[in-house]
């Protein structure tokens, strides 16, 4: 354990230690929490105990389940405190498998297993984060291939109701809009784990990629290669490939698609071979842009075939998949623990999903869940992770232009569009046949714009001659009091009952089926 006094600090300090404690010059006013994976909260918060987000069943897929019940300020790999005068002190690992806590008025960093380097710096927020990013780039590597492609993604308008006919129509009607990639999202596969086309894609995946390429764009595909549902053939055939705990019980990777999810042990030779074949298969089908999702599953705690720290194991699986797909593919990681992905992919999703609504009372105030899809949740976390932009392409998720089935105000949509400019990553899911002529023109001008961006304050930017202020997205919900607390506890509990989630899923599927008729 290394103890560092504030007076010993140089401008930049690199310290070798498994555990480190940094004394502060005075009592801070804010703490920078950095959540584990794409969908986990990143934000400046006060120092009060923080509510535990609900439902518990979702913890493995929304936060770092190892630390979720610790209500004191803490975060993955780094932590920073802000003082009255606006200066900050940052303690951050230059390695994976590390966590930072605020304990007894000091910043404490802990690393699993290895004795690696820590970065400590005090000063102006932008300067400190910039230097930290530089040091991370030296250790993890930087890859930024020119500019990020402009993407149309099927998820946020069609969800799982995609089929050959619906997509083919959308691809045709997107002609005249300057997209570089048309990306097929969730809904094409047989099952999570069984990555073959389902009956809605009778012509197969090669034909689907060909169709996209015939429109002059690159073909993109979504997969969640490190998880599988209990009902998948993969799970039934290879139960020994999945991560288990000390007692030999399967480790939960959370719950989605109305089912229990399990995580592949990516160090198992059967799994490495299977992953390699899968990546090569997607390339052979003709997809050049891969959005690999639910990747956190590769970094959950468990007993691995090769005993190694969980995030290091995950990083190796990314290396393996990257090698198998080739460096000429554009590789976007999503639902990914952030640090282990640096240097191995082209882009990282740095926030939760956006949605056609700003914030839902249930999710924000009762479940206190900042990871659930919602535009405010997405903007809040993305705006706190912009410092990663010098290292890698940062994906803030899609912007909306359409007004059909969308309750965002014009101002809220503009915030998302501005965030895309700031991140230099432009994507939308708007369905071409839903767009008015004006909305279509707005998309085209968005895709071709290259505005001059300047940061004026933590949440304020100038974009050409306009000002974009993201302050309205950063506040955190107020924790409920009185009778509402009981309702919140009940809801959190109900949300962890698989049967209830299955019923909700059936209702959602039914609504989507009805909607499909109108597409």
> What is the contact surface with ligand 9PG in residues (CB under 6 A)?
39, 58, 61-62, 155, 185-186, 222, 256, 293, 334-335, 353, 371-373
Q: How far is the CB of 373 from ligand 9PG (least distance, A)?
A: 6
CA–CA separation, 19 and 17 (whole Å): 5
Query: Measured from the CB atom, is 240 or 508 closer to ligand 9PG?
Result: 508
Q: Dmax of the chain from CA atoms?
A: 68
Q: How far is the CB of 43 from ligand 9PG (least distance, A)?
A: 17
Only one residue has tokens 């354990």, namely 1
The first and second tokens of residue 308, run together, are 């190694």
What is the arrangement of strands in the sheet containing 227-229, beginning at the earlier edge strand? 227-229, 259-263, 252-256
Query: Measured from the CB atom, is 20 or 61 closer to ligand 9PG?
Result: 61
Query: Measured from the CB atom, is 122 or 155 closer to ligand 9PG?
Result: 155
Contacts of 451 (CB under 8 A, 6+ apart): 421, 463, 464
Query: Measured from the CB atom, is 21 or 349 closer to ligand 9PG?
Result: 349
Query: Measured from the CB atom, is 309 or 370 closer to ligand 9PG?
Result: 370
Instruction: Please give the angle made by the CA atoms of 473, 478 and 480, to the nearest 5 degrees.
Output: 145
CA–CA separation, 294 and 1 (whole Å): 35
Q: Annotate 289-302 with b (16+ C-beta within 10 A) or e (fewer).
A: bbbbbbbbbbbbbb
Query: Measured from the CB atom, is 92 or 335 closer to ligand 9PG?
Result: 335
The first and second tokens of residue 422, run together, are 């700031």
Q: How far is the CB of 73 from ligand 9PG (least distance, A)?
A: 23
Query: Measured from the CB atom, is 52 or 453 closer to ligand 9PG?
Result: 52
Strands (E) in 125-230, as ranges, are 151-153, 181-184, 189-191, 194-197, 218-223, 227-229
Q: In this chain, which residue has its C-beta nearest to ligand 9PG?
A: 186
The first and second tokens of residue 12, run together, are 């930049």
User: Distance between the two ends of the chain, CA-based, in angstroms?
Assistant: 61
Q: How far is the CB of 311 from ligand 9PG (least distance, A)?
A: 20
Strands (E) in 224-351, as ranges, are 227-229, 252-256, 259-263, 289-292, 330-333, 347-349
Q: How far is the CB of 196 from ligand 9PG (least distance, A)?
A: 17
Query: Measured from the CB atom, is 185 or 346 closer to ligand 9PG?
Result: 185
The first and second tokens of residue 357, run together, are 């609504």
CA–CA separation, 332 and 338 (whole Å): 12
Nearest-10 Cα torsion for 161, 164, 167, 170: -130
Q: How far is the CB of 93 from ligand 9PG (least distance, A)?
A: 25
What is the chain's length? Answer: 519
Q: How far is the CB of 62 from ligand 9PG (least distance, A)?
A: 5
Query: Measured from the CB atom, is 4 or 261 closer to ligand 9PG?
Result: 261
For residue 172, the tally of other CB atoms under 10 A from its CB is: 12
Q: How far is the CB of 384 from ligand 9PG (least distance, A)?
A: 18
The answer to whether the beta carbons of residues 44 and 28 sit under 8 Å apart is no
Q: How far is the CB of 334 from ligand 9PG (least distance, A)?
A: 5
């Amino acid at each position: 354990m290394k103890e560092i006094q504030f007076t010993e600090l140089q401008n930049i300090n690199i310290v070798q230690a498994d555990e480190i404690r940094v004394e502060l010059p005075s009592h801070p006013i804010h703490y920078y929490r950095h959540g584990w994976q794409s969908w986990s909260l990143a934000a400046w918060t006060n120092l009060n105990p923080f509510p535990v987000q609900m439902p518990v069943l979702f913890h493995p897929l929304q936060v770092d389940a190892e630390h979720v019940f610790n209500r004191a300020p803490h975060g993955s790999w780094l932590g920073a405190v802000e003082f009255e005068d606006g200066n900050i002190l940052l303690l951050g690992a230059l390695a994976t498998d590390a966590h930072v806590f605020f304990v007894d008025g000091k910043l404490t960093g802990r690393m699993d297993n290895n004795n690696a380097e820590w970065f400590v710096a005090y000063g102006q927020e932008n300067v400190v984060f910039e230097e930290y990013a530089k040091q991370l780039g030296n250790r993890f590597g930087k890859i930024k291939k020119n500019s990020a492609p402009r993407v149309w993604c099927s998820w946020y308008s069609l969800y799982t109701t995609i089929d050959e006919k619906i997509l083919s129509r959308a691809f045709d009607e997107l002609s005249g809009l300057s997209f570089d990639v048309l990306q097929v999202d969730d809904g094409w596969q047989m099952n999570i784990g069984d990555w073959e086309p389902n009956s809605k894609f009778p012509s197969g995946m090669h034909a689907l990629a060909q169709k996209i390429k015939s429109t002059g764009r690159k073909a993109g595909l979504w997969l969640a290669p490190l998880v599988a549902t209990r009902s998948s053939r993969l799970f039934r055939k290879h139960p020994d490939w999945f991560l288990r705990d000390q007692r030999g019980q399967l480790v939960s990777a959370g719950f989605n698609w109305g089912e229990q999810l399990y995580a592949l042990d990516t160090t198992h030779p059967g799994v490495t071979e299977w992953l390699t074949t899968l990546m090569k298969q997607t390339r052979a089908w003709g997809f050049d842009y891969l959005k690999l999702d639910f990747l956190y599953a590769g970094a959950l705690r468990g007993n691995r075939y090769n005993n190694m720290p969980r995030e290091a194991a995950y990083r190796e699986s990314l290396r393996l998949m990257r090698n198998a797909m080739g460096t000429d593919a554009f590789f976007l990681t999503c639902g990914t623990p952030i640090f282990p992905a640096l240097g191995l992919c082209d882009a990282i999703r740095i926030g939760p999903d956006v949605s056609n609504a700003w914030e839902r009372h249930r999710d924000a105030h009762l479940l206190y869940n900042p990871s659930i899809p919602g535009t405010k949740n997405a903007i809040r976390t993305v705006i706190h992770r912009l410092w990663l932009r010098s290292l890698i392409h940062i994906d803030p998720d899609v912007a909306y232009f359409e007004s059909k089935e969308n309750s965002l105000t014009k101002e809220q949509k503009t915030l998302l569009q501005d965030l895309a400019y700031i991140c230099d990553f432009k994507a939308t899911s708007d369905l071409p046949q839903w767009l008015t002529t004006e909305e279509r023109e707005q998309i085209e001008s968005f895709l071709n714009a290259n505005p001059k961006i300047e940061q004026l304050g933590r949440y304020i930017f100038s974009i050409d001659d306009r000002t974009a202020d993201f302050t309205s997205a950063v506040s955190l919900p107020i924790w409920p009091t009185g009778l509402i607390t009981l309702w919140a506890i009940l809801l959190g509990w109900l949300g962890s009952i698989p049967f209830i989630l299955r019923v909700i899923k059936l209702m959602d599927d039914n609504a989507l089926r009805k909607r499909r008729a109108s597409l």
